[in-house]
Amino acid sequence: MTKKLASLSLDLDNLWSYMKTHGDPGWQDFPGYLDVVVPRFLDMLDELSISMTVFVVGQDAVIKENKPILKSIADAGHEIANHSFNHEPWLHLYSPEEISKEIERAEEAIHSATGVTPKGFRGPGYSLSETVLDVLKQRGYDYDCSTFPTIAGPLARAYYFAKSRLSSDQKERRKVLFGGIKDGFRPLKPYAWDLNRERMVEIPVSTMPFFRIPFHYSYLHWIAGASEGLASVYYASALRACDMAGVAPSMLLHPLDFMGGDDVQQLAFFPGMNQSSNEKLVRMKRFLSKLNDEYDVTTMAGHAKTLKITELPLRRPDFATEDTDAVDLAQETSATR
């Protein structure tokens, strides 16, 4: 019996990027944990014979100590993709020049570290704009997967603001982070962005069909903190809902899915970080084994290759706009780099 398709990816957000988002001092020194987390997920995926896509942040790729670690991901046969250079979730507010520079710098750094020129992109914090898509198309990217169609976006933004140390003005500038209710009703299945006679494949991060609520692995760890059984039932129900709706699950991982509070005490504010690394690793192996048993798990590039772009539904970019001055915001964030 032929298995159904599923894709798997990991956003390789490092310790400094979480500290930066949280407003913690010391992130400018770029502290990290890649030497801990990368071997963990490589070993688990090798044991399960799974290949996935790893979205790499350019800033991490220019740090000398990180280069052999990132190279080991490519050497293990996983796809390397672009997660921006500075990992700033307000990328969609940048000017065209800033966006082009951000994506190009990341490409160059990632290629230098891994020998791979990325052809896939995911925006930090699911940030996306028509300009980002235009730049990706001009630079020869095969796909984007920055959309996260969930009605929980405003709740994620509220949590982010509550846990951050941002000023009221900074919060106002970032009031579209993680999208709104409208964004939660974007398509769950892959489609093509209509970019003035050009097309770009979009593969959304999967959310539970019908309910539009998340079931990526960080969310499952959070549920498991209340009830291990509930997390397992929720996961199985979400996968069944995908099958019923004809959605090939595109599952999302983060480094903290393989790490616990015993690894990084600085991230105690993050959901699920009151758990130990051992219990999270045991849970991750169980969840990934279930996915692998029921689906033909592939990379994002592998998923994109199964799609005929000319047959995908077309969608015009319809991103939220507001009064924020992109140039001023770019200057503000550049001052912190």
Q: What is the pLDDT of residues 295-307, one digit of tens each?
A: 999 999 999 999 9
pLDDT score of 39 more than 80: yes
Mean pLDDT of 244-248: 98
Q: Annotate 105-166 with DSSP letters as a single string.
A: HHHHHHHHHHS----EE--GGG---HHHHHHHHHTT--EE------TTHHHHHHHHHHHS--
User: What SS3 class is residue 333?
Assistant: helix
Confidence band for 168, pLDDT divided at 50, 70 and 90: confident
**pLDDT given for residue 21 in this prediction:** 78
CATH architecture of 4-205+297-332: Alpha-Beta Barrel (3.20)
What are the sequence ranges of the domains in the chain? 4-205+297-332
Closest alpha carbon to 9 in 305, 302, 231, 306? 302
Residue 293 has, within 13 A of its CA and on its CB side, a CA count of 8
Q: Annotate 187-246 with DSSP letters as a single string.
A: -SS-EEEEETTEEEEE-PPPEETTTTEE-SHHHHHHHHTT-HHHHHHHHHHHHHHHHHHT
Confidence band for 318, pLDDT divided at 50, 70 and 90: confident
**pLDDT given for residue 164 in this prediction:** 64
Average pLDDT over the chain, rounded to whole? 90
- The structure's pTM equals 0.91
How do residues 102-154 score in pLDDT, each as one tens digit? 999 999 999 999 999 999 999 998 999 999 999 999 999 999 999 999 987 66
How do residues 84-105 score in pLDDT, each as one tens digit? 999 998 898 899 999 999 999 9
**pLDDT given for residue 22 in this prediction:** 77
